[in-house]
Structure 1
């Protein structure tokens, strides 16, 4: 019996939140279609995504992408999608308590990602970054000084508590893949701050490197399926928000 082909719906030009789902699908070698990146002639594009979002055939329409179509199911919210995919892709523990623990950690990653987004859009997502630069600088300074250490320190402790190799102990999980993306994204957005903070999170740094070396992930990262980080996504690099140590007050 052939494995099901999943349909992922997300904005085509950015990694964004959809990347957390892509990494799980890629690591598992699961067949999937990145629908909005297909041409309209192949029933793809943003219009196809928006059409499904507004479909009256859905039991519950998604608020926003990403969302995943699996047979008759349409599932939204990254943590919810990964909670569904994890057991099916072999990326979640077998027992209920550990699966809930994975979900709890993924929800905490969701909180972190929201705070990363707010470093460049602290006032409103409807405004351009250029319209809120003073506020973004203050938000970034607070994030780098207080919030990033708190989040990453927490995940470092959880990783160490479970043996240091996988965040839940045992085998690789979707949470490990998501933490890879967090470290990669923060390194892109705040290279100076992350270089200075790296000695405090050696376990997470090593986890990032192990994930990057997994055969399917390495192939994905080297392919055109991996959209480069850019200033349209969640992790954005604005040099003025991450000054070199010599320029910090």
Structure 2
């Protein structure tokens, strides 16, 4: 049976980290909330699943979550690790498998910080309700946090003993797919800043180019299954929050 992936339709968001692993591994799945309601899909199907789980079985806090029979896996980093380890996109050595999970969790931290740039006060408020705070948060994120995270990824690639150009292990893993998505998201949200920073992190960008060229990833990006970044997602482009 294919996996059922539950996430909000119309934006890549945190669900994209799971989609990329599913697509790269060539694993069949249903993107439930994107399916027509006549086929058992839509947001209503996702909400109905969570309501039903309130009385029977594991209850995920929020999308994304992955379902296979009675198995429910939630949180983007955990889903990516689960899929990678079950479908050939994780290191084989135990120490490297565990560290790949650490990378995925750290990437989730970066994603949360990127989101909080445009929603620094509260997720229930509109961006327009917190623009002064967002401006201040954006400056700190651009000048301090982005280089800190990107420098760490760059160091991991440089120090990888396999000299594979990847974050961990000898081959591309779900951790690399996560970095790929983050670099794409940051380039969308902060194009000026990323253009300035790009020369400082050649290994990270070379890895992203390698992921982008994977046949299954290229086919996915060209398909109608992929959703572009927009101002409803985690990575949002507000020109007033970007600077070189």
TM-score range, shorter chain: over 0.9
Alignment of 1:106-185 (within 5 A): 106-162=104-160, 163=163, 165-185=165-185
Instruction: Pick which of 155-164 and 109-118 moved more.
Output: 155-164
Instruction: Pick which of 169-178 and 155-164 moved more.
Output: 155-164
Could you tell me whether the CA contact under 8 Å between 2:8 and 2:63 is conserved in 1? yes
TM-score by length of 2: 0.96
Which residue in the other structure is 2:219 paired with?
219
Alignment of 1:66-81 (within 5 A): 66-81=64-79
Which residue in the other structure is 1:233 paired with?
233
- C-alpha RMSD of matched pairs (Å): 1.0
Alignment of 1:3-18 (within 5 A): 4-18=1-15
Q: 1:164: Cα distance to partner?
A: 5.3
Report the 3-state secondary structure (helix = DSSP H, G, I; strand = E; otherwise coil) of the residue aligned with 1:55.
Answer: helix
Which residue in the other structure is 2:33 paired with?
36
Report the 3-state secondary structure (helix = DSSP H, G, I; strand = E; otherwise coil) of the residue aligned with 1:198.
Answer: helix
Answering whether residue 46 of structure 2 is matched by residue 49 of structure 1, we say yes
Q: 1:26: Cα distance to partner?
A: 0.5
Could you tell me whether the CA contact under 8 Å between 1:58 and 1:74 is conserved in 2? no
Could you tell me whether the CA contact under 8 Å between 2:120 and 2:137 is conserved in 1? yes
Q: 1:96: Cα distance to partner?
A: 2.2
1 CA distance for matches of 2:59 and 2:169?
36
Deviations 1:32-81 (CA, angstroms, capped at 9, x unpaired):
00000001100000010011112246422000000000121011101111
Could you tell me whether the CA contact under 8 Å between 2:91 and 2:169 is conserved in 1? no
Answering whether residue 213 of structure 2 is matched by residue 194 of structure 1, we say no
1 CA distance for matches of 2:166 and 2:99?
13
2 CA distance for matches of 1:93 and 1:100?
9
2 CA distance for matches of 1:76 and 1:53?
12
Q: 1:95: Cα distance to partner?
A: 2.6
Deviations 1:78-111 (CA, angstroms, capped at 9, x unpaired):
1111221112110011232211101000010011
2 CA distance for matches of 1:25 and 1:207?
19
Which residue in the other structure is 1:104 paired with?
102
The gaps in structure 1 that reach 5 residues or longer are: none
